[in-house]
Structure 1
């Protein structure tokens, strides 16, 4: 199969069950809003037992509960027996240190069909050291946290649900310039796709599970490093390819992730210098889902 004249390899990516919270952040001014978005989405770290996050899309004032500009964010943790407790802990960190400290910000729940709720009074509201209080604003139960620039407001209950994390696509490119353009074009094409985030945006360093240094976690996927092509026997980098950006996608459903992969492929293959589209996987042994790329294009 070819898209925009670029061959799409007949392969699949693997994805995993995850638990996510989805919420809206608003602010009175674009500057703290942008800072909150950068903070809440920083440093994906699920491979270290923490969380990863991203901005799903930006919102106009008429789309938010309080009539101010905002964005939709998602925070994810690995699925498991302690996932809800871990998500509460990670939400607390990201919102307390990434959003609450930004002037005029507020947080509202945006999880559709939640499996349950996290009570934000404990991990976030108690930043008020006992001066927190709850009332109804914007037709929602809100926790008020007095701060040195007014009050930070957060909805009392943030919903969480099971989703699909770690879908991905690889773009084999002639050079770094083409890789940057194709990668960021794919990411931008997903900015208005409801229900998905790209926690790494354009990722320059895909990893593999096996490593000679297990104490530091996943390490470089050496067969796909262009600079190692002439130094190793198991290189899988074709001649003429000098950069392979990876676009990782998390979504609220399998269908959302598949649609996003298809949109990313369509956008990236419009760029000159993309010579092939593929995906990394673990032979179908690790992921909860197998997502064939060709199915994504048909979606």
Structure 2
């Protein structure tokens, strides 16, 4: 391990790596009439990380002022990710988030915010037809919008949303001796990651690191049992929980490219250096057998 000195203590950085994966993502702007509705829509739409079970996951990249949005309202940049390059399936899964979490919020709208997209997804079939055939297209805000008539008129979404290739699933673990360190450290790490443009943390502070092999394949990934503190005595030599560690939270990072992901990991880890009760920082990997990319902690 490498020792990194904080203000008044040493935090060990384990000589290990995380595995990150290639994925596809869509980057959108959502807007609303008021901040409360905007936040509800943004948090609801990105609340359930789901790529490990074949669904979409998302995160809030940043909040926008009125002079940064197409319609001059408060807004947010959201990223939605899919783990497989299946654009038709991605379109369907993304539509669930838009229909169930954004469209139903009063006076919201969705705009494309892609950067050099690999392609475009047509929104008419899976979102536009919520108008039951009464929807129409209109040029507004310098964009082609689908207008979907609803009971408090009307929901607007750009007719196509771009998709791009990026990096997902990078992670680091911060091992804690104190319960308070889990939230204190996680909040600081997430705040630092939020400052890196193009990166999101879809799980926020994640309490359940997983592994690919499982006794129950219909569930999907199950608990990474060697790293469960409550199993340390039961597992004996199989346990990988270090001495004095009682909690092992994880931060997962997706980003628009590998450099962005590395910057976000570095920022998050550095934010943990002075958090009381954080003993060391490690990462989840699978021996390099699953991920497309290895990111070594000591090289950040």
TM-score class normalised by the smaller sequence: over 0.9
2 CA distance for matches of 1:2 and 1:65?
47
Are positions 1:2 and 2:3 aligned together?
yes
> Residue in 2 aligned with 1:33?
38
> Residue in 1 aligned with 2:170?
167
2 CA distance for matches of 1:267 and 1:70?
27
> Residue in 2 aligned with 1:277?
281
Structure 1: runs of 5+ lacking an equivalent: none
Are positions 1:66 and 2:71 aligned together?
yes
Question: What displacement does 1:79 show?
Answer: 2.3
2 CA distance for matches of 1:102 and 1:270?
40
SS at match of 2:147: strand
SS at match of 1:227: helix
2 CA distance for matches of 1:14 and 1:66?
39
* CA-atom RMSD in angstroms: 1.1
Alpha-carbon contact 1:13-1:280 (below 8 Å) kept = yes
Are positions 1:18 and 2:19 aligned together?
no
Question: What displacement does 1:138 show?
Answer: 0.9
Alpha-carbon contact 1:27-1:104 (below 8 Å) kept = yes
> Residue in 2 aligned with 1:141?
144
2 CA distance for matches of 1:79 and 1:48?
11
1 CA distance for matches of 2:255 and 2:39?
22
2 CA distance for matches of 1:88 and 1:238?
43
**Could you report, residue by residue, the CA deviation over 1:208-255 in whole angstroms, capped at 9, with x for unpaired residues?**
111111221111111111111111121111121111110000111011
1:221-236 mapped onto 2 (5 Å cutoff): 221-233=224-236, 234-236=238-240
> Residue in 1 aligned with 2:291?
287
TM-score, normalising length from structure 1? Answer: 0.96
Aligned residue-pair number:
294
> Residue in 2 aligned with 1:89?
92
> Residue in 2 aligned with 1:150?
153
SS at match of 2:290: coil
Are positions 1:113 and 2:129 aligned together?
no
SS at match of 2:60: strand
* Match of residue 259, structure 1, among 256, 263, 267: 263
TM-score, normalising length from structure 2? Answer: 0.95
